[in-house]
Structure 1
Amino acid sequence: MAGKSQWGEPLLTTFPSATLDARLNSDRARKLRSIVYEVKTISMLTRHFPSKILDDDWLVLLDCQTRKQRLDYLKFLRNREREREKDMEKKRLKEISSSLFVQETKCEHSSPLYYPTAKLAKEQRRQLWQRVANAYRCGAPTLVIDCRFLPLLSPRGAELTSIQLKYLISENRDSSAPWQLYFANFDLSNDKVRRLKRRHLSVIDSSSACSPVVLTIDYTHMFGRERIVYLSPDAEEELEDVDDENVYVLGGIVDRVVERGISRQASLEAATSDRVCCKRLPLDKYVKWKSGNKFLTLTAVSSILRDVNNSGGDWESALRRNIPVRNIRSAEEKCAAGRQLHEKIRHFDNQLLQILDREIGQEPL
């Protein structure tokens, strides 16, 4: 990778539009031009590069504070493309399978009991919507995501967190026992939050979707402080029960990204500032943690709370079912090939950043 002979043709084919350029002041327009040159250079040094970069993506790259953040975001875009390609292939195979099933059913069953696939899907969506609506009507347990951190997250962290929020909506919708779901401190006056909503959370504007209740205000204005339990891995007290009366709050911060602009104990500090009870999951009591930190994804924590509530307090099964395998295996137990691959990726990224420093100059501190 060190020599010019190993450079490839630039993979960058989509550039900022004239509309975007016209929206920027002279300083940001100048910075964007230098970022485009940097991104083009990166596209000559790696094959793991997105096929398309939209104006919204250029704005995210413009807001990145470091070259490393921009590289991470480009990798994130490519990974997301690959996931979509896999999803499309799964959908294609599912449609083929469904079509064959319908044809077989039509041949085998000519009775009035046959239910067309489209009508069945519509009925299933109606039942899902009804279950979520009943959760609010009948006082199901309440989960609140504190979104105050979204504007402070790094571009990659904000994208990952928004995707987690989208997954959270889907999992709650598909659950046999959905909870009341709220997004609080969702600041729609913030450009970054509006962009994330447009990219990943447009479902919350749908009148027909099983969407959460979105609050621009703080959750303490919606619920009594005596009912609120803010969950944080840094809390001193362990959570013992998950009952229907309490309101459980999770900080909207993705688990695997170290955020320079956010305190490592942000959720504990938020709970202290809001004067609400703060507790942590009883991980040490039921799980032998062997590697990694004890920050879980929003979807993992949500599933744990739901399973404990449904089972009447079976923490051990809930934790075993929802904690990633990587956290309950020691470094020695993990796949050596996987560790070597991650080490190669880190080494490649470091080399790439060094080449950028040499070819286009180091970033100003």
Structure 2
Amino acid sequence: MLRIARFFPSLISKRPCSSSSSSASEDSLKPSKTFVKNLNPEELEKYNKTAEQFDIFSYMGKYVPLEMKDEDWKKSLEFTTLDDKVAFWEFLAIKNRRRNGRDNRKNQNIEQFNNFITEQQQKYDNGEMGYGPGLYQLLQNPMRNKKKIHHIEGNKIYESMRSNMPKIALDLQFIQTMKPRHRAELGNQMQYMLSENFAAKRPLLLDFVNLPNEQFVENWMAKSIGYYGGMYCDQTILPGCTTKGIKEYFGPNQKIIYISNYARDVLDGPINADVICLAVSMDNHRESLGAARRANIPAYRLPFHRYVKWKSGPQFLPFPNLVNVFRQVYDSNGDWKMALMNNISRRHLITSEDSEMLKQQQIRRKARLDEKKELIEMIKTATGTE
């Protein structure tokens, strides 16, 4: 610890005055004895190095997981760089915090409901109008019936299938090689995209293509996309899933285009393509453009520069917003300006000089990145990691 203090005194000053972790919480961060016992010599060496790094991270880090399962340790050993390990551990910490927040809100709602029912039961016992299960009942909205909602959603999809609406091909060929936090983020986007598409008056037809591994993608979908892990999947029409390529799946007679921010050609005017392909990826390394070229599909970028003054932040749209843009452009017969303005966050349309809030966000983000870099350097120095 003296060695650490010598190189990084600013981080040592952040050390908690007293240990806030009980023995139980410390044990929750360790793998099981069976996990360690089953490691081969090479894996054991990786584990010892990773455990040493994690000890310092859990002691000095700001975002530390509440628990580390054997599966989490296994993934940690698969990362080759310390930067990726720290990013994964912080992702787990944020995930734990969000889950605890949901659990707390759920418990509060249950408590409030029980208190309400107790109050209503007392009214009912006194001859008043007490409402609740077993008491007086209000007429329920038939639209709240999940089965009816699913049937209505499925019927709208079927109507779209009978029309000439464009299809959206969601290319999953990159999903298996992504970082876990990116997979989780894209899974959330797919969930919201399906939800908004079902809620639309005229939903688009969606299909998942180029599945790299059926079992892997099925597990990812069941875990990240609620529609595929729900109880009533058979009551609506969910997007199809296939390991086939785009042209093989849709056929040679379809007019197919690929959307990429790095394409030279610009998509504008009414949509006359039969199939619009989207790479389910963060696209940090131009994966979309590479996929389009390998599949010999023409690539287009959206006409941001023609209709929008994009002033701050990266120029891309989350998948729910992107699909909404295509739907609105199709319904309006080519009004890209309206569709883009309806689906671009306002923070991208103002400069940082115009917003004090954005300034403060940038300051906090930079401070967080500097703090993270300092922590990684400290772990490298203390453990002798290159």
TM normalised by structure 2 equals: 0.77
Out of 225, 230, 233, the position equivalent to 2:261 is: 233
The residue identity in structure 2 corresponding to 1:45 is M
Q: Does 1:142 align with 2:167?
A: yes
Q: Does 1:161 align with 2:186?
A: yes
Match of 2:303 in 1: 282
TM normalised by structure 1 equals: 0.81
- Aligned-residue offset at 1:160: 2.3
Match of 2:348 in 1: 327
Q: How does 1:125-136 map to 2 (within 5 A)?
A: 125-136=150-161
Kept in 2: contact 1:69–1:155 (CA 8 A): no
The residue identity in structure 2 corresponding to 1:146 is D
Distance 1:20 1:158, change over 3 A: farther
- Aligned-residue offset at 1:203: 4.0
Match of 2:317 in 1: 296
The residue identity in structure 1 corresponding to 2:50 is I
Match of 1:41 in 2: 56
Q: Does 1:354 align with 2:342?
A: no
Residues paired across the two proteins, number: 352
SS of the equivalent of 1:285 reads: helix
Out of 175, 181, 200, the position equivalent to 2:206 is: 181
Q: Does 1:199 align with 2:226?
A: no
Bigger CA drift: 46-55 or 69-78? 46-55
Distance 1:348 1:164, change over 3 A: same
Distance 1:137 1:100, change over 3 A: farther
Gaps of 5+ in 1: 259-263
Match of 1:261 in 2: none
Gaps of 5+ in 2: 1-7, 121-128
Distance 1:251 1:170, change over 3 A: same
Kept in 1: contact 2:223–2:229 (CA 8 A): no
Q: Does 1:270 align with 2:291?
A: yes
Match of 1:212 in 2: 239
SS of the equivalent of 2:174 reads: helix
Distance 1:357 1:141, change over 3 A: same
Distance 1:100 1:205, change over 3 A: closer
Q: Does 1:345 align with 2:372?
A: no
Bigger CA drift: 274-283 or 220-229? 220-229
Match of 1:57 in 2: 72
- Aligned-residue offset at 1:282: 0.6
Q: How does 1:309-324 map to 2 (within 5 A)?
A: 309-324=330-345
Distance 1:202 1:320, change over 3 A: closer
